[in-house]
Amino acid sequence: MSTERRITKLTFRGFWARIRIGDRPLTIYKPCYDKKTKTASGWIASKPGEEYSVCWKKNDVTEYAAHGKVYIDGPRRRGNMYVRGRDTGWVVERGVRTAVDKERPFIFSELTTTDDDNALDQNIPTEPGTIIFKVFRVKVTSGPREWKGTPSDPFSTQVHEKSKKAGAHITKIGDERKAVAVGTPRDTKPFTEADRSPYVIFVLRYRPEAILRARGFMPQSLDQSQGRANDGGDKGDNDEVQAEAEIAALRAALQVTVASLSKRKGAKLEDVEADLARKRRKVKQEEVIDVDLYFIPGEVIDLTDL
């Protein structure tokens, strides 16, 4: 049995950050801390249809306030909260705030494809599967002001089939609902001149479980590691669902790698795909599986764009 400690939050430069499903914090895999860029990062497993919350806190009482900005799937800001210097409790952002007492929830979703050419450049997420949270040190300069809300224009959850992003996950912005009222906003300014840049950045990349397992980030499930010794009544159905999910994720990973290979070679994507297809047919005829045909020898497969 593995004794590896389960990590559910990133702790860096006096701040904590985590993602929750309800009250359950998600496990963070492969945490990384970069002092030079003041960035802490990691990977989490996402499941379409689940609502999630972005949670953060300041560890100690400080002479400065903290302003947190959340960006999801690209440069559009989805969260905009601040805490006073004496506050050390968790800030929980469950969605885009459209009013003091209303929100649109964050929901994991799956990118689907279409052959409609009108979707080629329509509202496409630039960084699907990425949650970025930036903390700025600030000081309050004035009292309460009018609440303006946060723009809630969602990215499209459908992309053109040529984008090669099928199977990736994205965040859907749900329907507006009532929420616990938040405090009225204040005007702030940087705590020092150096604080015009983020004091700390947290980056959490979410992917299907199958992709995290394929990359070795997430351990194999207990059933898989024990060879599914205990047969259940619905074992066949569960196996089929799991297999379909893993196949979809691996196909998506292959699509990203082929697109990257095409770019490096300076060749048309269609030509690279056709060449790989010819090699696969040859392998099939010889009844031999050679993974080197799919990738350049010695190549590191990067799925961060998936």
Q: How many CB atoms lie within 10 A of CB 77?
A: 14
Chain Cα centroid distance, residue 223 = 26
Q: Which residue do the tokens 């998600």 mark?
A: 26
The per-residue pLDDT string of the chain (306 residues; one tens digit each, 9 = 90 and over) reads: 445 678 999 999 999 999 999 999 999 999 999 999 999 999 999 999 999 999 999 999 999 999 999 999 887 778 878 788 999 999 999 998 888 889 999 999 987 776 666 655 566 777 889 999 999 999 988 877 777 666 666 666 666 566 555 557 889 989 999 998 877 777 889 999 999 999 999 999 999 999 999 889 988 765 444 444 444 445 455 555 555 555 666 666 566 566 666 666 777 767 777 777 776 665 555 444 333 333 333 434 344 444
Buried b (16+ CB within 10 A) or exposed e, 63-75: ebbbbbbbbbbbe
Extract the tokens encoding 188. Answer: 């702030």
Instruction: Give the residue from 181, 186, 188 showing the smallest Cα distance to 98.
Output: 181
Strand 29-34 with 91-93, pairing: unpaired
Q: What is the pTM of this model?
A: 0.71
Quote the CA–CA distance of 290 and 149 in Å, as a whole number.
54
SS3 of residue 136 by DSSP:
strand
Instruction: Give the residue from 55, 70, 63 showing the smallest Cα distance to 140.
Output: 63
* DSSP single-letter state for residue 219: P
